[in-house]
Amino acid sequence: MKRGREKRAAPAILINLLKSTPIRSMIKISAVIITYNEEKNIGRCIDSLAGLVDEVVVLDSFSTDGTRRLCEERGARFYQQAFDGHIQQKNSAVTYATYDHILSLDADEYLSPELRKSIEAVKADNTHQAYSMNRLSSLRGRWIYATDWYPDRKIRIWHKQAAGWGGYNPHDKVVVKPGVKVKHLDGNILHVAYDSVDELFRKAYLYASLFAKGNRHKVGSSTFKILYKTFFSFFRNYFMKLGFVYGFDGLAISMSIATYTFAKYAILKDLNSRKD
């Protein structure tokens, strides 16, 4: 009789174990992208998401090229509104998403095969409210695994209630709420960044100017600060972070980062000293 009771108890133990074990269902993900005249990039970006995400949402700033056609041909939900800053536009784009989990990409980015596999695993077994991944950028068609460019860790998957876009324009970032744990995924976001050195330096100055104007009377600057931050940014990128390994490209990237640093603090010093 005792042996029989043990046999009958086994199913009850199994049932209790199943009840105490949380059952995770496959999550649905909305991919969200903002665009403006991204005809040369957007097709590659959306194609890398095919069969992985449950919808693609594009918020466009009234492109005048073929961006809309390329998006709609690939089944993306396409919306338009005037651009009001990177942070504002990306937060607005999230409001169009159907599902609670967001995957955000820029139009000039796409997923590596390894990162796709990592995201597939997240969909099947979601354990965190936010996920980060490395971004790998290119200059003149060459992937750069050095300088501040790599590993450029970004949070790009999150639950709507756990995080949102913050930082400062144009250097936006996903900011998680207190207590939210972030898991890092294998694989890279592939960022087709700059086709030429001219484009690299033009963007460095543009971003420096935007930073200075957005931080006038909020961030301090001085001649000494300009000097030491500029020098150290070059030294860190070219020597400490192995920019020299990439020859001319590594030198150009290190100099562009130093140029950005010099310009943003120099313009900021000038703006802070004005009385108007």
pLDDT band at 215 (very low <50, low <70, confident <90, very high): very high
Residues 84, 182 within the same domain: yes
Please give the single-letter amino acid code of residue 251: L
Q: Last residue of some domain: 157, 178, 194?
A: 194
Residues 139, 243 within the same domain: no
Most confident of 1-10, 24-33, 228-237: 228-237
pLDDT higher than 90, residue 12: no
Rounded-to-integer distance, Cα 87 and Cα 97, Å? 16
Average pLDDT rounded to a whole number, residues 241-269: 98
pLDDT value for 171? 87
pLDDT value for 21? 44
Q: Is residue 5 part of a domain?
A: no
Q: Last residue of some domain: 168, 194, 220?
A: 194
Per-residue pLDDT reduced to its tens digit, 162-173:
999 999 888 899
pLDDT higher than 80, residue 259: yes
Residues 129, 238 within the same domain: no
pLDDT higher than 80, residue 5: no
- All residues at 6 or more sequence positions from 131 whose CB lies less than 8 Å from its CB, including other chains: 122, 155, 156, 157, 158, 182, 183, 184, 185
Residues 145, 226 within the same domain: no
Rounded-to-integer distance, Cα 256 and Cα 9, Å? 71
Residues 58, 82 within the same domain: yes
Residues 157, 252 within the same domain: no
Q: Is residue 100 part of a domain?
A: yes
Residues 257, 204 within the same domain: yes
Q: Last residue of some domain: 194, 221, 238?
A: 194
Residues 178, 202 within the same domain: no
Q: What would the two tokens of residue 38 be? A: 């991204």
Which of 120, 232, 235, 142 minimizes the C-alpha distance to 195?
Answer: 142
Q: Is residue 13 part of a domain?
A: no
Residues 46, 177 within the same domain: yes
Counting Cα atoms < 13 Å in the Cβ hemisphere of 158 gives 24
Q: Quick check: 101 and 130 in contact, CB under 8 A?
A: no
Rounded-to-integer distance, Cα 128 and Cα 122, Å? 9
pTM for this one? Answer: 0.89
Looking at the chain, the whole-number percentage of residues with pLDDT higher than 70 is: 91
Q: What is the mean pLDDT of the chain?
A: 93
**CATH, residue 77:** 3.90.550.10
Q: Is residue 163 part of a domain?
A: yes
Residues 52, 152 within the same domain: yes
Q: Domain residues for 174?
A: 29-194
Rounded-to-integer distance, Cα 227 and Cα 263, Å? 11
Q: Is residue 10 part of a domain?
A: no
Q: What is the DSSP letter of 19?
A: H
Q: Is residue 87 part of a domain?
A: yes
Q: If DSSP codes are grouped into helix, strand and coil, which group holds residue 21?
A: coil
Residues 39, 103 within the same domain: yes
Please state whether beta strands 130-139 and 142-143 pair in parallel, antiparallel, or not at all (unpaired).
antiparallel
Query: 143 has which bridge partners?
Result: 138
Residues 159, 261 within the same domain: no
pLDDT higher than 50, residue 20: no
Please give the single-letter amino acid code of residue 227: L
Average pLDDT rounded to a whole number, residues 247-273: 98
> How many independent structural domains does the chain possess?
2
